[in-house]
């Protein structure tokens, strides 16, 4: 057999560990040929953007961040941007992808990605392509799996950053605001905030009131704590407000909404209302970079080999998922049906409230 592997969407730690696991398992156990599809689906649109992967090619990449195959979140073949008569327009070129899949002589395609990549993969499966999915996203928002590749590392980076900010916040008597990624899910903010001993956690699932945030900070000051740390998810929403989108989908043709700016906005509000000096730290792509944690290396390796076995058993249209401590397969349609969000009454949220952390509600 000849199988392809592609990494799509935003990069994250652990992608190279997946590429390595798939390549080694396919070659050593099955004697298959492995073709790396470069830059997400772009390698199936332009077939010159592919590379045969050998055992030598994946040597030394287990602990390497990013992806040696490259990636993009703008290569949706169902909404592909092309230039016609000097203008950019969106076209469905999915038939080209299907044709190129067969032109390359592929028998199966393993897609490593989040909800966007898996959704595209499912639509390609409906068009006849034999697809197997592997979940990765630092947002940890895929419904059908308990964990995604990249989340553990991103969480550890956020916690480390918060730990470092405690000392400068205390020294300068400031109200620091830390903006983290996560899009419309608050997993990074919630768990990093709880693990990092912050004072306030603001997540998309619980709209917040600026006044209540400022009141909580002032109460801390009244009780003798002259500094505070607030962790806010990039998709957090003020009560009655909206996501702080800095580039809309209309402006970013064929792309996705970019969230950001909520941290700086909140920091300004704190200075004006609470009358305390405030600074904002946006972690941004730092959460995506660098070597994967040991947990992500293990999860990526396990999921990669499991996906190869799924291909062997022709379990197409399905995705690897972690349930508890065991791996199993689920329908991709189930994985992308809804975004996995934080429940307001979850044990983690309640634990945070019990120790005095405010959610601004």
* Cα(296)–Cα(154) distance, integer angstroms: 10
Give 69-125 pLDDT, tens digit per residue.
999 887 899 999 888 888 889 999 999 999 999 999 999 999 999 999 999 999 999
Token pair, residue 10, equals: 């935003």
pLDDT of residue 208: 96
* SS (HEC) of the chain: CEEEEEECCCCCCCHHHHHHHHHHHHHHHHCCEEEEECCCCHHHHCCCCEEEECCCCCCCCCCCCCCCCCCCCCCCHHHEEEEECCEEEEECCHHHHHHHHHHCCCCEEEEEECHHHHHHHHHHHHCCCCEEEEEECCCCCECCCCCCECHHHHHHHHHHHHHHHHHHHHHHCCEEEEEECCCCCCHHHHHHHHHCCCCEEECCCCCECHHHHHHHHHHHHHCCCCCEEEEEECCCCECCCCCCEEECCCCCCCCCCEECCHHHHHHHHHHHHCCCCEEEEECHHHHCCCCCCHHHHHHHHHHHHHHHHHHHCCCCCEEEEEECCEEEEEEHHHHCCCECCCCCCCHHHHHHHHCCCECCC
pLDDT of residue 73: 80
Q: Which of 58-62, 249-253, 327-331, 342-346 has the lowest mean pLDDT?
A: 249-253
Among the candidates 230, 256, 288, a domain finishes at 288
pLDDT at 169 over 60: yes
Record the pTM: 0.92
Give 240-268 pLDDT, tens digit per residue.
877 665 545 545 555 667 788 899 999 99
* Cα(313)–Cα(334) distance, integer angstroms: 20
Q: Which of 180-189, 202-211, 239-248, 337-346 has the lowest mean pLDDT?
A: 239-248
Q: Which residue has the tokens 């001993």?
A: 197
Residue from 192, 180, 185, 205 nearest 260 by CA: 180
Token pair, residue 295, equals: 């947990």
Read off the pLDDT of each residue in 277-294 and give the average, rounded to a whole number. Answer: 94
Q: How many domains does the chain have?
A: 2
358 part of a folded domain:
no
Residue from 157, 119, 194, 130 nearest 346 by CA: 194
61 plus 178 within the same structural domain: no
CATH of the domain at 32: 3.40.50.450
95 plus 161 within the same structural domain: no
Read off the pLDDT of each residue in 268-292 and give the average, rounded to a whole number. Answer: 93
81 plus 205 within the same structural domain: no
pLDDT of residue 250: 46
Residues 41 and 96 sit within 8 Å (Cβ to Cβ): no
6 plus 140 within the same structural domain: yes
Residues 14 and 296 sit within 8 Å (Cβ to Cβ): yes
134 plus 37 within the same structural domain: yes
128 plus 182 within the same structural domain: no
95 part of a folded domain:
yes
pLDDT of residue 165: 96
296 plus 268 within the same structural domain: no
185 part of a folded domain:
yes
pLDDT at 203 over 60: yes
pLDDT of residue 259: 82
342 part of a folded domain:
no
User: Domain range for residue 305?
Assistant: 2-149+292-335
Token pair, residue 112, equals: 């490593």
Answer positive or negative: Cα dihedral of 16, 20, 23, 25: negative
From residue 89, how far is each of 84, 96, 118, 255 by CA, in Å? 7, 17, 24, 12
119 part of a folded domain:
yes
Read off the pLDDT of each residue in 30-47 and give the average, rounded to a whole number. Answer: 95
- Rounded to the nearest integer, the mean pLDDT of the chain is 93
72 plus 113 within the same structural domain: yes
56 plus 120 within the same structural domain: yes
From residue 105, how far is each of 1, 258, 298 by CA, in Å? 9, 37, 31
For the chain, percent of residues with pLDDT exceeding 70: 96
* Cα(288)–Cα(137) distance, integer angstroms: 9
The catalytic site residues sit at: 139
313 plus 256 within the same structural domain: no
Among the candidates 269, 288, 307, a domain finishes at 288
What residues does 318 pair with on adjacent strands?
132, 331
274 part of a folded domain:
yes
Read off the pLDDT of each residue in 136-150 and give the average, rounded to a whole number. Answer: 94
209 plus 93 within the same structural domain: no
357 part of a folded domain:
no
68 part of a folded domain:
yes
pLDDT at 212 over 90: yes
Which residue would you say has higher pLDDT here, 9 or 242? 9
pLDDT at 3 over 90: yes
127 plus 10 within the same structural domain: yes
CATH of the domain at 166: 3.40.50.460
Contacts of 46 (CB under 8 A, 6+ apart): none
* Cα(16)–Cα(24) distance, integer angstroms: 12
Read off the pLDDT of each residue in 146-157 and give the average, rounded to a whole number. Answer: 96
């Amino acid at each position: 057999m000849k199988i392809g592997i592609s990494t799509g969407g935003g990069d994250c730690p652990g992608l190279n560990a997946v590429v390595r696991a798939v390549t080694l398992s396919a070659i050593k156990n099955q004697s298959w040929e492995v073709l790396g599809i470069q830059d997400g689906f772009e390698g199936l649109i332009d077939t010159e953007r592919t590379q045969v992967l050998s055992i030598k090619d994946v040597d030394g990449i287990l602990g390497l961040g990013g992806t040696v195959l490259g990636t993009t979140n703008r290569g949706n073949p169902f909404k592909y941007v092309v230039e016609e008569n000097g203008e950019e327009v969106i076209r469905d070129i999915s038939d080209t992808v299907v044709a190129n899949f067969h032109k390359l002589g592929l028998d199966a395609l393993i897609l490593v990605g989040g909800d966007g990549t898996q959704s595209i993969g499912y639509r390609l499966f409906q068009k006849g392509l034999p697809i197997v999915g592997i979940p990765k996203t630092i947002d940890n928002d895929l419904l059908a799996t308990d964990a995604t590749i990249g989340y553990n590392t991103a969480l550890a980076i956020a916690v480390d950053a918060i730990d470092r900010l405690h000392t400068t916040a205390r020294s300068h008597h400031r109200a620091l605001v830390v903006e983290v990624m996560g899009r419309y899910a608050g997993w990074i903010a919630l768990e990093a905030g709880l693990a990092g001993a912050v004072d306030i956690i603001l997540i998309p699932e619980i709209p917040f009131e600026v006044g209540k945030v400022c009141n909580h900070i002032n109460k801390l000051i009244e009780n003798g704590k002259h500094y505070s740390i607030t962790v806010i998810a990039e998709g957090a929403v003020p009560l009655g407000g909206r996501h702080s989108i800095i580039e809309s989908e209309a402006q970013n043709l064929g792309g996705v909404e970019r969230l950001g700016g909520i941290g700086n906005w909140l920091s300004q509000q704190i200075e004006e209302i609470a009358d305390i000096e405030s600074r904002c730290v946006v972690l941004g792509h730092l959460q995506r970079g660098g070597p994967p944690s040991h947990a992500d290396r293990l999860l990526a390796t396990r999921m990669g080999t499991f996906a190869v076995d799924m291909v062997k058993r022709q379990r197409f249209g399905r995705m690897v998922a972690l349930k508890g401590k065991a791996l199993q397969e689920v329908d991709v349609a189930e994985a992308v049906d809804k975004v996995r969000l934080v429940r307001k009454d979850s044990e983690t949220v309640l634990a945070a409230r019990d120790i005095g952390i405010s959610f601004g509600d």
